[in-house]
A and B are shown apart, each in its own frame.
Chain A
Amino acid sequence: MSAAILEGRDLGLARGVKQLFSGLSFAVGSGHALVLRGPNGVGKTSLLRVLAGLTEADAGEVWVRAKPTQRLSAASRSAMLYIGHANALKDDFTAAENLTDQLALDANPASAGQQLEALKVVGLFERRDVLTRRLSQGQKRRIGLARLHLSRGAAHKRVWLLDEPTNALDGDGSALFLQIVDAHLAEGGVAVIATHLPMALSGKVDEMHMREIV
């Protein structure tokens, strides 16, 4: 695939004595989503962390826009948007402050008005000035949705790496998540999503089943 935005080439990673994956290669093109599936502990999170550059792979390379990238290099950091199990929220900040803070770190130029709009979209507008410690787990997850909503099709942070993104989200929240990802893909974005749930995305979806290496 010549137009691949994100590629894994021969990736290998061991944790302790356990080989999680080796010789793993794949390519995700513009507008495509890659859904990672597999039982717990098979290495989905580790693979996402390798792609993000948080974890150093034992073997292989991550390519972005047809160029090999070093772990956490400037090119890699400006391409990857990673949302892991942890929400990266400060309990002492309000929902709105947390969103502002995350976008500032992403160098996302969304205006204050756009941020309020995004909070409305994810259903947190009424609770925007509530301290995050008083929000439910699902509401915290929705702050992440607002961040994604404002990063759709953005020039940078174009590769979304999402680890169990629908965890703690209710039916509406999951549907909203799918909408946001679809919009991102439609605008030429890329997403790699680790999940156990069916992902009813309307765009082009590839699935990768990870298996235990014995």
Chain B
Amino acid sequence: MSAVLASEQELSTPERGVWLTLTRDIKLAMRSKGELAQALAFFIIVVSLFPLAIGPESAVLKRIAAGVVWVCALLAVMLTLPRLFQSDYVDGTLEQLALSPYPLPLLCAGKMLAHWLSTGLPLAMVAPVLGLQFGLDASELLVMVAGLLIGTPVLTMLGAIGAALVLGVRGGSILMALLVLPLYIPVLIFGAGAVEASLAGIDATANLSLLAAMLLFGLVTTPFAAAAAVKISLD
């Protein structure tokens, strides 16, 4: 009986599970900074290719800016998704996460948060510099960054489900892209739509609010979905 009490007592703070995986994954990411820089460099280079390819016609560039930045952000995030679970799956850590007394959805939430802090957040930070290449002005850049800050966590959360589902599947990364990209479409539409609206002089808050709604909905649901996907993959 005392055994049961002891484990319940410790887990009176199950939210510590979020902190555990968050700090652990951030620490791991800091130990392999090269990997961290790859996604960011990919984002910067691909976005910068468009002004070079299309030429300095500012009206055209302004028109495509939001779409280009968002599509590239989406691809950059997707490139990093295998990092979420793959190495933990291979070295056996994922089994230990599943067997931890801390609830798996909370452990997954910590991993997602760490993933966003190491990919989505840096992308949003460099986006204004890239936006300048397309001739966006300050207010439009602000909307773009706000959209990325709200939207990239959604990309991570949806991606985590896909990444967990394809663990152990041969050719998993392509399959993951096929699973995840369709789910990214709403984020893309409202994220790019926010900048479009601000270009057209319309208030962008409607688009941003919809993104925020997706974020809140995702926060509540995706950790459970990712945890379920992990359990399926371990079976």
Please give the residue numbers on chain A whose beta carbons come within 8 Å of chain B beta carbons, in ascending order.
52-56, 71-72, 74, 77-78, 80-82, 84-93, 101-102, 104-107, 109, 155-156, 158
Which chain A residues lie closer than 8 Å to B99 at the CB level?
Answer: 52-54, 72, 77, 80-82
A60 to B3, CA, bound (A): 26
Please give the residue numbers on chain B whose beta carbons come within 8 Å of chain A beta carbons, in ascending order.
2-4, 6-7, 10-11, 20, 24, 27-28, 31-32, 90-93, 95-104, 231, 234-235
Interface pairs (28), CB distance under 8 Å: A52-B99, A53-B99, A54-B98, A54-B99, A54-B234, A55-B234, A74-B101, A77-B98, A78-B11, A78-B101, A80-B99, A82-B95, A84-B95, A86-B90, A87-B92, A88-B92, A88-B93, A88-B95, A88-B96, A90-B28, A105-B102, A107-B7, A109-B10, A155-B2, A155-B3, A155-B7, A156-B6, A156-B10
A82 to B234, CA, bound (A): 14
B3 touches A158 (CB 8 A): yes
Partner of A86, one of B28, B92, B100: B92
Which chain B residues lie closer than 8 Å to A81 at the CB level?
Answer: 99
Chain A residue with minimal CB distance to B234? A54
Chain B residue with minimal CB distance to A156? B7
A95 to B27, CA, bound (A): 15
**Which one of A52, A102, A107 has the highest number of Cβ atoms from chain B below 10 Å of its Cβ?**
A107
**Min C-beta distance of B162 to chain A, whole Å:** 21
A87 touches B101 (CB 8 A): no
Chain A residue with minimal CB distance to B107? A105
List 13 extra interface pairs beyond A72-B99, A87-B92, CB under 8 A: A52-B99, A53-B99, A56-B235, A74-B11, A78-B101, A80-B99, A86-B90, A105-B102, A107-B100, A109-B10, A155-B2, A155-B7, A156-B6
Which chain A residues lie closer than 8 Å to B93 at the CB level?
Answer: 88-90
B235 touches A88 (CB 8 A): no
A155 to B10, CA, bound (A): 11
**Would A106 and B101 be within 8 Å (CB), given that A87-B91, A87-B92 are in contact?**
yes
Chain A contact residues: helix, strand, loop or mixed: loop
Which chain A residues lie closer than 8 Å to B91 at the CB level?
Answer: 86-91
Which chain A residues lie closer than 8 Å to B11 at the CB level?
Answer: 74, 78, 107
Which chain A residues lie closer than 8 Å to B96 at the CB level?
Answer: 82, 88, 102, 105
**Min C-beta distance of B27 to chain A, whole Å:** 8
A101 to B27, CA, bound (A): 11
A86 to B89, CA, bound (A): 10
Which chain A residues lie closer than 8 Å to B234 at the CB level?
Answer: 54-55
**Min C-beta distance of A49 to chain B, whole Å:** 8
Partner of B32, one of A80, A82, A92: A92
Which chain A residues lie closer than 8 Å to B27 at the CB level?
Answer: 93
**Would A92 and B92 be within 8 Å (CB), given that A77-B100, A77-B101 are in contact?**
no
Which chain B residues lie closer than 8 Å to A54 at the CB level?
Answer: 95, 98-99, 234-235
Which chain B residues lie closer than 8 Å to A84 at the CB level?
Answer: 92, 95
Which chain B residues lie closer than 8 Å to A91 at the CB level?
Answer: 91
Which chain B residues lie closer than 8 Å to A89 at the CB level?
Answer: 91, 93
**Which one of B2, B7, B10, B98 has the highest number of Cβ atoms from chain A below 10 Å of its Cβ?**
B7
**Min C-beta distance of A129 to chain B, whole Å:** 14
Chain B residue with minimal CB distance to A92? B31
**Which one of B10, B98, B99 has the highest number of Cβ atoms from chain A below 10 Å of its Cβ?**
B99
Which chain B residues lie closer than 8 Å to A74 at the CB level?
Answer: 11, 101, 103
**Min C-beta distance of B131 to chain A, whole Å:** 34
**Would A72 and B104 be within 8 Å (CB), given that A155-B3, A156-B3 are in contact?**
yes
**Min C-beta distance of B66 to chain A, whole Å:** 37
Chain B residue with minimal CB distance to A55? B235
Which chain B residues lie closer than 8 Å to A105 at the CB level?
Answer: 20, 96-97, 100, 102
Which chain A residues lie closer than 8 Å to B6 at the CB level?
Answer: 155-156
Which chain A residues lie closer than 8 Å to B24 at the CB level?
Answer: 101
